[in-house]
Structure 1
Amino acid sequence: MFVPSQLSLSLDNDSHHPLHVQIYFGIRDAILSGRIAPQTKLPSTRALAEMWSVSRSTVVLAFENLTAEGYLQSQMGSGTFTCELQPDRFLRVDGKLPTKKDLPPKDRRPIELSKRGQQMLGQYQMRRQLVDQPHPFRPGVSALETFPIAIWRRLTSRRWRSMSSSSLVQNEPFGFRPLREEIARHLRVSRDVHCEADQVVVVSSTQHALALIAQVLIDPGDPVWIEDPGYLRAQFSLSAAGATLIPVPIDAEGFNLEAARRANPNARLAYVTPSHQYPLGAVMSLSRRLEMLEWANRENGCIIEDDYISEYRYAGRPSTALQGLDELGRVLYLGTFSKVFSPALRLGYLVLPPSLLEAFQAERSLVDRGPSYFDQAVLSDFLKEGYFDQHIRKMRTLYSDRRQTLQNAIKANLEGFMEIGANDAGMHVLGWLPPGISDVSVTTLLAEHGIMAPPLSHYCLRPHERGALLLGFTGYAEERLVRTVELMSDILRQEYPSRFGQAGE
């Protein structure tokens, strides 16, 4: 028989938990511990309110929460009872383990991967060795200490306060429309991209955008022109999708279209970084851009334009995006916010030609639903209220100073062994090594001393004529850059004493 003392509670008016929450936890714990058996009738809310010296509405609120979660049930004319089956039963395992005789024989053979899985695993392991070490001069690292956390926190809090149940249902396959409108506005002003919000797809990363493109435009075995050397993740993403990569050399004018035609005239898709070639830094000339557009129109081809760090130019005005010259809808334009803020943000965009909208809507609806709408909403506020432009201006000044510091330190400590390539944009500089010196060997040597400087060779699909190191500067304070260059100089002088003074010879 139920005894009211089984529900004896010590309520604390000074607790950070309201009284109705304390009552909720007290009754729930009594039910789960077995002090109150299933299908037990509870005293009335009025009786419990008198016993606990609280208002009846406080007890009613606790009962409503317990009923909503399945701990209590109300029976008309009879009162309130504990449920026969408690909700926790459906949320937790029973903890009963099978005996050895019930287990199948042990089989330690590894699960076989598909050919694509094996390829992706090998590429991932190589990339992890190259760029996942948090040391200078790992390229592509943002100055995370400058992230506007206070502003982001305030915008996030404001969004949560204005959240309604209707805002939890979002059905647009291309993403949160206000963010797409802000992205379109930003690209029209800053990059002369010709687009409307309907053409913008919100993605989590460049790889995400490339995976979407591959689903719609690439069949296994299709030849795809790709810059050589080029962006590793683009190589991995496209090859993992089954594309046959056709390496295309880079010269002073960027992507060499004539060489591409000679390598494989049947390609109908090309991946390029025309505004700042990764990793060499070349800017595609206007004549080359027009030639590529003419090729795409004549051969019914498509161009993937990755404008990955267009915001970071330190001298002169940026060139118009290739997409801004495209009048026939042949360019798919990619960009990301990860390099501007933090990789943890995981937001980017894909701008589609109008003719591909329906196909990508179908793909997005069936295969993928994109990043969190809440994160998209906060970013849309960040863009709309001008904080993004402020942050870019601040970062451009900071990165320009760090770039100059790195170049000065290399000139002072490594002159004669390393030459810095001309580069007015981006998040890294190229340090060219003397002819005959293996950049892979130099990378390995420096890594033994905690210095991360990826070799140009690992970005190449074919051997490059001269070795170089990618030296990222954006994520490291100026004094740390100088100290690391000085350490690098000591290491290289000991290993290659006779080669200093021979760079470029």
Structure 2
Amino acid sequence: MDTIILADWLSARLDRSAAEPMYRQVLELMQQAILTGQLAPGTKLPSSRTLAIDLGIARNTVLHVYDQLTAEGYVTSTTGSGTYVADTAPREGAVAKARPEEAKKPCTISRRGERLIAQAGVSPKQWGAFMPGVPDVAEFPSRTWSRLQARLWKRASPDLLTYAPGGGYRPLRRALSDYLRVARSVKCQPDQIIITTGIHQSIDLAVRLLTDFGDRAWVEEPCYWGARSVLQSSGLTLVPVPVDEEGLNPTERDMATPPRLALVTPSHQYPLGMVMTLARRRALLEFARQHKVWIIEDDYDSEFRYGSRPLSSLQGLDDAGQVIYVGSLGKMLYPGLRMGYMVVPENLVDSFRTGVAELYREGQLMQQAVLTEFILDGHLTSHVRRMRGLYGERRELLINAIRARFGDSLAVRGDEAGLHFVLELPQYADDSAIAADALAAGVVTRPLVNYYMNRDEALRGLMLGYACVPNGEIAPNFARLAAIIERALTSLEIA
């Protein structure tokens, strides 16, 4: 393009009525002309005064455009000589030539990324009947939280507005250590607690610091898909270990090749809900001690037990320092808080405090300070107690709705604790198809098959969360789901 007709080319493409500034329009058009070769390398641009007159715009606008083009390497400018289009084409040999068929292929994500996306279990809907694992955020004492937050902001210290120290806000770590010792029988001092953004980050940090690429990791079969994704994306070799009514049940073959790490949910197995017996706990801890296996104990919702006190943690039985205990405040308070914690053995404290600061540059100190006040003032304990009662009511309402519709033909399992249970289906049922049909009808449920690595041996069922469903909405929503289940089972029986 000759610079004589540059003004005409620009004028034909400028939208003088647009909200976008004239400077931005001229800049982007000239960048486009240079990158496409319409303004060839070495072409001398008209002076800023000439181009401004030709376009009927302020000279300062053109000067800003030329300055930006120069700063980004599109043009070169020499005092007394003028402004010239720079040669921005790659140098010969600087880029390896691709075969024609390869050059046509679009860039894609990695094989590891493809596997992660293909196996993702995240739902497009995160609220409502019957989303598993989600608390009723409408019941969160937001006024109390707001009052505590306002009080802290009035006297906000600079220390609360910067990056978090390794491990997190010390008063919060002290408050959590006191809470966990009483509520979960966790053996810990404040320095052993590392504040994270939740269980996913806790597991990710532990994996990065305790394992190497290719190491073996035991996971329960079935297990939480999110934790499994974290382990797989870190390059670990996952070994699915079956569970029975007593919890994790490794075979002789499993134990013949000890893993580097084992991830377990002993107090409320996810998703099936059984509790690991004391004998199995002691056996796992002894195996870990003998073979130097790290155990990650995911204690995701044990505060909510119905009809009995919360069970003691596996970590409380550990005398060898092999257990990393991880938990989250999202289910006790609200998921958007994105705050969790991990309790690490004393010999790992310095490494984990450095690791969390190095990898994630933690912050949210103001939120951590608010949470500290919330705990120390007794609000956490009273909120959990109140929600335990409410969730217990909703659990009963949903079980009653199931019994009224199906009697004893469909079993409920894992309902003694937590925010969900499993509605078992016949082995011939397609729980994935039922869940998809339910979602189309506005009801969220997760198929049990998605939690298995070996889907051919998976139990069939639906994960039903009841915590975030108002009492009056449980029966009508289950009626919609029940109709879908009945239709699916009838069609399979006929076939």
Q: Normalized against structure 1, the TM-score is what? A: 0.76
Is 1:103 aligned to residue 95 of structure 2? Answer: no
SS of the residue corresponding to residue 224 of structure 1 reads: strand
SS of the residue corresponding to residue 426 of structure 1 reads: coil
CA distance in 2, matches of 1:104, 1:389: 65
Residues 168 and 429 of structure 1: is their aligned pair in 2 closer, same or farther, counting only changes over 3 Å? closer
Task: Tell me how many residue pairs correspond in the alignment.
Answer: 405
Match of 1:415 among 390, 407, 411: 407
Residues 260 and 209 of structure 1: is their aligned pair in 2 closer, same or farther, counting only changes over 3 Å? farther
CA distance in 2, matches of 1:363, 1:357: 10
The aligned residue for residue 366 of structure 1 is 358
Aligned 8 A contact 1:201 1:349 in 2? yes
The aligned residue for residue 244 of structure 2 is 251
CA distance in 1, matches of 2:179, 2:23: 55
Q: Is 165-174 or 296-305 further displaced after alignment? A: 165-174
Trace 1:13-412 onto structure 2 (pairs within 5 A).
Answer: 95=24, 96-99=27-30, 100-104=32-36, 110-124=106-120, 127-128=121-122, 130=123, 132=125, 134-169=127-162, 172-258=165-251, 261-262=254-255, 265-412=257-404
SS of the residue corresponding to residue 185 of structure 1 reads: helix
SS of the residue corresponding to residue 270 of structure 1 reads: strand
Structure 1's unaligned 5+ residue stretches are 1-91, 501-505
Residues 189 and 93 of structure 1: is their aligned pair in 2 closer, same or farther, counting only changes over 3 Å? farther
Aligned 8 A contact 1:436 1:466 in 2? no
Q: Is 360-369 or 313-322 further displaced after alignment? A: 360-369
The aligned residue for residue 81 of structure 2 is none
Aligned 8 A contact 2:199 2:328 in 1? yes
Structure 2's unaligned 5+ residue stretches are 1-20, 38-102
Aligned 8 A contact 1:347 1:371 in 2? no
Residues 98 and 285 of structure 1: is their aligned pair in 2 closer, same or farther, counting only changes over 3 Å? same
CA distance in 1, matches of 2:419, 2:382: 19
Residues 377 and 470 of structure 1: is their aligned pair in 2 closer, same or farther, counting only changes over 3 Å? same
How far 1:136 sits from its partner (Å)? 1.6
The aligned residue for residue 436 of structure 1 is 428
How far 1:97 sits from its partner (Å)? 2.2
Aligned 8 A contact 2:429 2:489 in 1? no
Aligned 8 A contact 1:334 1:351 in 2? yes
Residues 210 and 465 of structure 1: is their aligned pair in 2 closer, same or farther, counting only changes over 3 Å? closer
- Code of the residue aligned with 1:113 in structure 2: it is I
How far 1:371 sits from its partner (Å)? 3.9
Is 1:449 aligned to residue 445 of structure 2? Answer: no
SS of the residue corresponding to residue 446 of structure 2 reads: coil
Q: 1:337-364, CA deviations, whole angstroms, 9 ceiling, x for partnerless residues? A: 1111211100000100011112213322
CA distance in 1, matches of 2:444, 2:413: 19
Residues 133 and 194 of structure 1: is their aligned pair in 2 closer, same or farther, counting only changes over 3 Å? closer
- Code of the residue aligned with 2:134 in structure 1: it is V
CA distance in 1, matches of 2:388, 2:180: 18
- Code of the residue aligned with 1:116 in structure 2: it is R
Aligned 8 A contact 2:448 2:458 in 1? no
Q: Is 190-199 or 164-173 further displaced after alignment? A: 164-173
Q: Normalized against structure 2, the TM-score is what? A: 0.77
Aligned 8 A contact 1:218 1:241 in 2? no
- Code of the residue aligned with 1:325 in structure 2: it is L
SS of the residue corresponding to residue 280 of structure 1 reads: coil
CA distance in 2, matches of 1:340, 1:93: 52
Q: 1:312-349, CA deviations, whole angstroms, 9 ceiling, x for partnerless residues? A: 00121222100000111110000001111211100000
Q: 1:414-455, CA deviations, whole angstroms, 9 ceiling, x for partnerless residues? A: 235522125210111110112322212222232332222211
SS of the residue corresponding to residue 116 of structure 2 reads: helix
- Code of the residue aligned with 1:142 in structure 2: it is P
How far 1:190 sits from its partner (Å)? 0.3
Residues 423 and 211 of structure 1: is their aligned pair in 2 closer, same or farther, counting only changes over 3 Å? same
SS of the residue corresponding to residue 251 of structure 2 reads: helix
CA distance in 2, matches of 1:167, 1:491: 51
- Cα RMSD over matched residues? 2.3
SS of the residue corresponding to residue 97 of structure 1 reads: helix
How far 1:220 sits from its partner (Å)? 1.2
SS of the residue corresponding to residue 496 of structure 1 reads: helix
SS of the residue corresponding to residue 231 of structure 2 reads: helix
How far 1:211 sits from its partner (Å)? 1.1
How far 1:310 sits from its partner (Å)? 1.2
SS of the residue corresponding to residue 205 of structure 2 reads: helix
Aligned 8 A contact 2:266 2:314 in 1? yes
- Code of the residue aligned with 2:467 in structure 1: it is T
SS of the residue corresponding to residue 242 of structure 2 reads: strand
Aligned 8 A contact 1:453 1:470 in 2? yes
Q: 1:188-237, CA deviations, whole angstroms, 9 ceiling, x for partnerless residues? A: 00011000010000000111111111110121111100001011111000
Q: 1:103-160, CA deviations, whole angstroms, 9 ceiling, x for partnerless residues? A: 258x996433233333333334xx23x4635342110121111011100000000010
Residues 477 and 168 of structure 1: is their aligned pair in 2 closer, same or farther, counting only changes over 3 Å? closer
- Code of the residue aligned with 2:438 in structure 1: it is L
Aligned 8 A contact 2:215 2:259 in 1? yes
